[in-house]
């Protein structure tokens, strides 16, 4: 097992700049998710770590060793593909044993390790079946078996659950995380599904348009998004954005939104007058008659324990999460206010989050 260090990684395909100066570190034994919409460069980044693509610039270190230009087979990594890539002309046993055979490990030792891996993954009874007859989840287990049998330096997984149905996926999320904890293997996991990433990862690297927007723990990604993109991408429904124009002094604890003063976490930088955006998670919107923002209920979405209420206001449509027990009539006039210590402020132009007390790790909840 080893640390993975990616430094200023760049990749262009002709004129298309797929990955732009991506940098992050995955500590030994950590589970990192590369999260982003399709086409954001996350898979390309993973393939560069694997050695399936060569970077245009930048370095990749595995356990301190520079492997940027090494062949995939010389990196001692394991890769789990979305489509599993089980060799159809081999049965389960030979599929799992294949990497060991490539390394020239003798048949007795090979058999011992294949059986052991099959036991861990609970597929012992399938060892002699053909891979083409297996169900999705079992195929995924065989693919995992092929990855873990060699005890590589790290695991790279490219949307390994993408081809499974929802129910199987739920189960495999827990299995994968349990397997990770058991093996303590450094893992980089690519997904576009934020729930998968939130449920499994120690650290999430959010990518957009080839750029790593933020690398942080799932909680920090959610509570302290570093950019408008991250705030918008993470969370369902995403964060509400209220655009406003204003300036900011260091230490200021309020901003001016229209004619209202809104309390925010203390600013840690000064800003000249510019276009800004106030970010509010739906669960931090409170209904109160004395609320500073007024609007009309447009509709609500019942989710069981909570509901998402859409309210049209002069700042646009805001979504608020409220207990399902409260009932709202469409067209009803309501007042809203926001929990001050949870608000984010972004610079509209660059999308960057303004440094405030929130980002010092003090307040969240």
* Interface positions with other proteins (CB under 8 A): 50-52, 71-73, 75, 77-79, 81-89, 98-99, 102-103, 131-133, 136, 139, 146, 150, 163
Nearer to other proteins, 21 or 83 (CB): 83
Q: How far is the CB of 14 from other proteins (least distance, A)?
A: 9
Nearer to other proteins, 79 or 338 (CB): 79
Following CA atoms 133, 139, 143, 149 in sequence, which dihedral angle do they give, to the nearest 10 degrees?
Answer: -80
| Distance in angstroms (rounded) separating the CA atoms of residues 300 and 351 | 29
How many C-beta atoms surround the C-beta of residue 301 within 10 A? 12
Is residue 141 packed enough to be buried (19+ CB in 10 Å), middle (13-18) or exposed (0-12)? Answer: buried
Nearer to other proteins, 163 or 263 (CB): 163
> Which helix H or strand E contains 228, and what residues bound it?
helix 228-233
| Distance in angstroms (rounded) separating the CA atoms of residues 203 and 205 | 7
Is residue 238 packed enough to be buried (19+ CB in 10 Å), middle (13-18) or exposed (0-12)? Answer: middle
Nearer to other proteins, 127 or 297 (CB): 127
DSSP designation for 181: H
Q: How far is the CB of 90 from other proteins (least distance, A)?
A: 9
Q: How far is the CB of 56 from other proteins (least distance, A)?
A: 14
Nearer to other proteins, 145 or 282 (CB): 145
| Distance in angstroms (rounded) separating the CA atoms of residues 118 and 106 | 18
Nearer to other proteins, 121 or 267 (CB): 121
Task: Find, among 153, 52, 138, 155, the residue nearest to 95 by Cα.
Answer: 138
Cis status, amide bond into 142, omega within 30 of 0: no
Nearer to other proteins, 19 or 50 (CB): 50
| Distance in angstroms (rounded) separating the CA atoms of residues 317 and 297 | 10
């Amino acid at each position: 097992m080893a640390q993975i260090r990616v430094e200023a990684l760049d990749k262009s395909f002709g004129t298309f700049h797929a990955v732009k100066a991506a940098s992050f570190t995955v500590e030994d034994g950590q589970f990192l998710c590369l999260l982003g919409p399709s086409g954001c460069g996350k898979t390309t980044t993973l393939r560069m770590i694997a050695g399936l693509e060569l970077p245009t610039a930048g370095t990749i270190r595995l356990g301190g060793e520079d492997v940027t230009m090494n062949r995939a087979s010389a990196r001692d990594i394991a890769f789990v593909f979305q489509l599993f890539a089980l060799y159809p002309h081999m049965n389960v046993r030979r599929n799992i044993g294949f990497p060991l055979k490539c390394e020239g490990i003798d048949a007795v030792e090979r058999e011992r390790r294949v059986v052991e891996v099959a036991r861990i993954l609970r597929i012992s009874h399938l060892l002699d079946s053909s891979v083409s007859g297996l169900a999705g989840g079992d195929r995924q287990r065989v693919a995992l078996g092929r990855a873990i049998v060699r005890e590589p330096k790290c695991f790279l997984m490219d949307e390994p659950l993408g081809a499974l149905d929802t129910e199987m996926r739920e189960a495999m999320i827990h299995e994968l995380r349990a397997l990770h904890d058991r093996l303590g293997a450094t893992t980089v996991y690519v997904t576009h599904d934020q729930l998968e990433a939130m449920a499994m990862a120690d650290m999430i690297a959010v990518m957009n348009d080839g750029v790593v927007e933020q690398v942080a723990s799932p909680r920090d990604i959610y509570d302290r998004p570093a950019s408008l993109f991250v705030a918008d991408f993470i969370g369902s429904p995403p964060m509400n954005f209220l655009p406003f124009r204003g300036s900011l002094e260091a230490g200021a604890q309020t901003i001016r939104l229209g004619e209202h003063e809104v309390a925010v976490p203390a600013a840690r930088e000064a800003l000249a007058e510019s276009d800004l955006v106030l970010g509010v998670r739906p669960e931090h919107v409170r209904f109160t008659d004395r609320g500073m923002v007024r609007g009309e209920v447009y509709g609500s979405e019942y989710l069981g324990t909570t509901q998402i209420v859409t309210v049209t206001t002069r700042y646009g449509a805001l979504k608020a999460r409220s207990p399902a027990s409260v009932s709202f009539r469409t067209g009803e006039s309501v007042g809203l206010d926001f929990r001050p210590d949870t608000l984010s402020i972004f610079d509209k132009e660059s999308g960057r989050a303004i440094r405030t007390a929130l980002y010092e790790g003090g307040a969240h909840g």
